Structure 1
Amino acid sequence: MNNLAERRTGYDTPDPGRLLRMRLVQHWKEQLGIIRTAADWTVFLYILIPGALLGGRYYYGFWKEPLPAWIHLLPYAVLPALLALLMQGGMLLLLHEGDLLFLRQRKEWIRTIMLGGILYSLSVTVLKIAAGFLILLPFLVRGYGLSESGAGALLVLSLCCGTCIKLLAHNVRVQKQGWRRWLWLLLAAWLPSGLYIRAAIAWSAHPALLLLAAAVYAAVAAAGLRARLVLRGTFLGDVREDFKQRMKIAGLLLRGVIDKPRPTRHKPWIFRKSQTLLRFGSPESRLAGASIKAFIRNPGHFKLYLQFSGVSAAAILIVPGMLKWAVCIVMVFLMASWLVSYWKVFAGEEFIALLPFTKERKADAGSLAVPILLLPFSLLCAAVASILLYGWWGLAVFIPAGAAIGIMAARVFTAFRLAR
């Protein structure tokens, strides 16, 4: 939509400032259009107005009436941590794909648009942090005894830290990919956030030290802004990050409606080499190894496996006494049933149908793959039950017990559910 509007005008604008304003207006219209597709404004107003009145009444009560008892049970660190969460997120540069052809040679125009987008993004961040700070202010002042000067210094520190994190994290996102991006984001975003929380706790009674820390964050933010403006060779990364920010509201509205597209990988993150996973040289072992690789490389399957493992461990932890073993066996049987269902879907894929495998061979391959996938889960469940019941002796019990339960469950379900 944005590129179509600009093609109609042919990028024919008298100055970069006008192009920047046009893109800001287009961005706002685009976001409003996305919201309108999911929300009726009449219904929205019926929710927004009563919600605002109710929220205003509660906020007035937090200033004039006794605070809720639960506020005294929360440590002070929770409030700076909430503000630190508001500092995360991406940045919008207002760059479009067509700029690579039409504006690439006009460096001053690109610089003006980028600088305008950066200032717009930082302004939104400042407003977001200020709004969050205003909501938390009665708890800071009345609940934790923060002075007026201390509250003002904490606000300045929050704004400077949020600006710093936005710029540093953005510089990392447009330059790094894969695990290197996450490693650098730890230094660019999470480390400054942790230091901010630490400073807010340690110097809550010393406004001068909070302002000194704010000056340090402001200096780092200025360096990050300068580095961003002189950065070269990141145009495609800039456009990619801009698209993510423009589609953020759409992603929130569509979450749970459609699946998130999987990123394209040139190499898988695990099992990068193509050799067979199992040492046996039979065709069944090769097919079983391929199914294990496909399961672990699939983010949806692997995530569900880990989630069910966590839920099962918590269930075993909660129940008393010897019921832990009963829950352990039930959970292993449930996991075995799901893994057999996965295998049947895998064996029914079109590319598997092209291979000369009979039903018997596919069943034999499934009988190899399911126990291997089930074994880590059964060992985890047995370890939780054994250690809680027998203490250190459980370390000697959980491996044979978990292996026996897993193999038994796998054999039962593969014998009954895999056609031979």
Structure 2
Amino acid sequence: MAWPIFWHRFKDEWMQKWKVVRSVIDWTIALYLVIPFSIMVPFFYRDWWNETESYWATGIPIWILLSILGIMTLGGNIRTYVLEADLLFLIEKKERFVPMKRLGFMVTMGQSLMSLVLPGALALPIFLNIYNERPFTLAVIFILLFSLKWSVLLIKKYIAGKWKKGIYILLMLAAFVLITTGRDSPLLAAMASLILFIILVVYFFKGVKGTADFQNEVEIEQSERNQYVNLVYSLSSQIEKEKGGNRGRPFILFRNSRRIFKERTAENGILELSLKAFLRNGIYLRTYIQMISITSAGILFLPLLLKWLLFGGILIFMTFWVQTIFKKLTSNRFFEVAPFDKEAEYAAANRFGKWLGTPVLIWTGTITICSTIWSVYF
């Protein structure tokens, strides 16, 4: 019987995730954050329904909303609940191995539907109050959104290579946005439903029997089981998440390591080393870009007052974040061999903040001003 094996692994995974949640949310966080937030959510959602125009401008094209919905469905993987040890025994027992993977498929179906609840609940007032969409249109969009979700899951499972996966996923997302322009067609809804049904049936009866991608399934399961642990690890400021290994020539920035400043002083030297180290560090650079991108999106879609609050907030946060990054960079053991005086460090820190903070100020400030003008006059 496959059920006892599946149930044991399913329960063990969620027990592990629950332990992680309990380790993060203690009684103080639950009392002062989780419980008040849970009480306020219904009131916020009611206001979201009654005052939708205050949160979503009427001039925003509908394809932007559809794109956001599509992006929110790109996560997840097809679950199989296989372990590396199954290669020794269970993989040969088809009468147990295949039904267990089918149970994992059913769990994935349920999780896929549940993952659409929050985006759907948030988008529903916008569709009805801003764009005046009909219930049938919303049903078609939901079917297409579910089809997009499973298309992405299948791409992640069967397409090799990160770049190739990314290209296919972007193409599917673009196709979803384009196809939804004809979302009022009953024929479109019927075709999408039929194609999705055929794909799911074929995978349920044929796809789960394959073992060629067993190692990939094991890696996916390990990633899913440790999802919460990895999230806590990535958000922890106490753990340095540096990648090891030998460094070759940089792919894009400073491939020949030329000088940035002609004048060779201690201040310029510290600043140049810090800038190059920052731009070559994938984690720091990715975080920097993500903060700017998320802030820009928030400024575009939030009400007028919140736009300026967010603009001021990102400037304050960026100031402290850049200072923290500079301290980490200058605490490298290299500077124990090549020490520098504190005055040069202080001057370099100020200039380092200007180099990284000025683009944020210009970019987010421009977006804030333009979106404010759009909100007031259009």
TM-score bucket (shorter structure):
0.5 to 0.7
| Counterpart position of 1:233 | 212
Structure 1 residue 220 displacement after superposition:
4.4
Q: For the structure 1 residues 109 and 123, does the alpha-carbon distance in structure 2 shift closer, same or farther, using more than 3 Å as the test?
A: same
What TM-score, normalized by structure 2, do the two folds share?
0.63
Say how many residue pairs are matched.
303
| Counterpart position of 1:246 | 225
- Find 2:236's aligned residue among 252, 256, 264: 256
If asked which structure has higher relative contact order (CA below 8 Å, sep 6+), I would say: 2
Instruction: State how far apart, in whole Å, the 2-side matches of 1:271 and 1:61 are.
Output: 50
Structure 1 residue 104 displacement after superposition:
2.9
1:217-258 CA distance string (max 9 Å, x none): 444455566674243333232222211112222222231335
**In the alignment, structure 1 residue 196 sits paired with structure 2 residue 196:** no
What TM-score, normalized by structure 1, do the two folds share?
0.57
For residues 23-38 of structure 1, the aligned pairs below 5 Å read 23-38=9-24
Instruction: State how far apart, in whole Å, the 1-side matches of 2:4 and 2:68 are.
Output: 37
**In the alignment, structure 1 residue 81 sits paired with structure 2 residue 84:** no
Q: For the structure 1 residues 166 and 43, does the alpha-carbon distance in structure 2 shift closer, same or farther, using more than 3 Å as the test?
A: same
Preserved CA contact (<8 Å) 1:16 1:109 = yes
Instruction: State how far apart, in whole Å, the 2-side matches of 1:222 and 1:182 are.
Output: 28
Instruction: State how far apart, in whole Å, the 1-side matches of 2:171 and 2:204 are.
Output: 19
| Counterpart position of 1:169 | 156
- Aligned residues: percent identity? 15
Preserved CA contact (<8 Å) 1:199 1:210 = no
Instruction: State how far apart, in whole Å, the 2-side matches of 1:171 and 1:66 are.
Output: 44
Which consecutive residues of structure 1, in runs of 5 or more, have no partner in the other structure?
1-14, 279-290, 312-333, 350-358, 364-377, 382-420
| Counterpart position of 2:5 | 19
**In the alignment, structure 1 residue 206 sits paired with structure 2 residue 185:** yes
For residues 329-344 of structure 1, the aligned pairs below 5 Å read none
Instruction: State how far apart, in whole Å, the 1-side matches of 2:333 and 2:28 are.
Output: 46
Instruction: State how far apart, in whole Å, the 1-side matches of 2:85 and 2:38 are.
Output: 42
Instruction: Please give the secondary structure, in 2, of the residue aligned with 1:98.
Output: helix
- Find 2:146's aligned residue among 159, 179, 183: 159
**In the alignment, structure 1 residue 130 sits paired with structure 2 residue 113:** no
Instruction: State how far apart, in whole Å, the 2-side matches of 1:31 and 1:223 are.
Output: 32
Instruction: State how far apart, in whole Å, the 1-side matches of 2:15 and 2:90 are.
Output: 23
Q: Which has the larger radius of gyration?
A: 1
The alignment's C-alpha RMSD in Å is: 4.8
Q: For the structure 1 residues 85 and 302, does the alpha-carbon distance in structure 2 shift closer, same or farther, using more than 3 Å as the test?
A: closer
Structure 1 residue 51 displacement after superposition:
2.8
Which consecutive residues of structure 2, in runs of 5 or more, have no partner in the other structure?
258-272, 294-321, 341-354, 359-378
| Aligned AA (1:37) | S
Structure 1 residue 215 displacement after superposition:
3.3
| Counterpart position of 1:114 | 101
